[in-house]
A and B are shown apart, each in its own frame.
Chain A
């Protein structure tokens, strides 16, 4: 029993180690993306270029899915964590937000509802019409 526990613990440590290395690999993709963006004068965030490159390499079978899947899925599962420092940035704009907060709140609320309703209804209508609704 003790031995089994030890083995699962080792397995867990191995997974964490793999995840860290894979996050490093994904980060390198974003660095390569920013580099290419600069060299080719593309007006595009490096991370999206890196995503495109990784997608193409996965499709072509050059880069194995298993090499990034543990770290990648962890990053996607904890996505909100990486937004928290940007939310905390709100404290820098307290005065402006205090002054214009209500107007801004209403604009963002109405505009976001507009975007959601228009895009969601368009997609729902097309999928129904095409008979491809799931």
Chain B
């Protein structure tokens, strides 16, 4: 029975995804992003049918697993645009470092300001990087990994919606800056938004996402204990 529910979950997730993607293709408005519409429809469906998340994820995990080969596949644009990456390496590294540090600082200060417990702040800390890294870092820092996963997705959604607005507001013209902004600010979701701007933007974003992940692994355990002592 639960296998059947799992199977239906996968099929429905894929159907909702492609329907919302088609809808988004016609109405290019961020609130119609497949990452908002499809999960909203699924959550409403699951709640009304009284199906628990644990039954849903029996099937859903097969889609999450595909994130593994998808991250490996980022080697393809890196390989294809290697010359560009070599040329812009210092720009990307420096801006990603600035972005990562401001992620730490703003999460810690705002979290303390909202009187959140340290555990919640530590779960917020790695939320702008890709899910597998964020969960790992959250675990090491003493956060709650599953809550971090939710924050990562929140950030991704937020980045999809506000990323293009921030780019327009700042009058950014360089594809490097657009890619770095989306990849550092909103991991894989930002990268998919950058890919729709152009393959150069997408490549830079994927590189920024990877470097932001690395910077977070290395810097978070050093900086966060200091920030929380403020």
Residues from chain A with Cβ under 8 Å of B140 in the complex: 43
- For the A-B complex with A112-B186, A115-B185, A119-B208 known, give 4 more contacts whose Cβ atoms are closer than 8 Å: A45-B132, A47-B71, A65-B80, A82-B63
CB pair A130–B91 under 8 Å, yes or no, is yes
Check: A95 CB closer than 8 A to any chain B CB: no
**Smallest CB-CB separation from B54: which chain A residue?**
A92
A90 to B74, CA, bound (A): 27
A34 to chain B, nearest CB (A): 9
Residues from chain B with Cβ under 8 Å of A40 in the complex: none
Interface size class of A (residues with CB under 8 A): 35 or more
Residues from chain A with Cβ under 8 Å of B103 in the complex: 111, 114-115
Check: A18 CB closer than 8 A to any chain B CB: no
**Smallest CB-CB separation from A91: which chain B residue?**
B43
State which residues 196-221 of B face A: CB under 8 Å: 200, 208, 210, 213, 217
CB pair B43–A86 under 8 Å, yes or no, is no
Residues from chain A with Cβ under 8 Å of B157 in the complex: 87
Q: Can you give 9 contacting A-B residue pairs, CB < 8 Å? A: A51-B210, A68-B76, A81-B17, A85-B61, A111-B110, A119-B185, A121-B170, A122-B99, A123-B91
A119 with B96, Cβ < 8 A, contacts A26-B69, A48-B210, A80-B34 known:
yes
CB pair A76–B166 under 8 Å, yes or no, is no
CB pair B94–A29 under 8 Å, yes or no, is no
Interface size class of B (residues with CB under 8 A): 35 or more
Which B residues fall within an 8 A CB radius of A? Answer: 13-14, 16-17, 21, 33-35, 38-39, 42-43, 46-47, 53, 56-57, 60-61, 63-80, 82, 87-88, 90-92, 94-96, 98-100, 102-103, 106-107, 110-111, 114, 116, 120, 124, 127-128, 131-133, 136, 140, 146-147, 149-159, 162-163, 166-167, 170, 172-178, 180-182, 184-186, 188-189, 191-192, 195, 200, 208, 210, 213, 217
* Among candidates B43, B172, B191, residue contacting A88 with C-beta atoms closer than 8 Å: B43
A50 to B68, CA, bound (A): 9
CB pair B158–A112 under 8 Å, yes or no, is yes
A30 to B100, CA, bound (A): 25
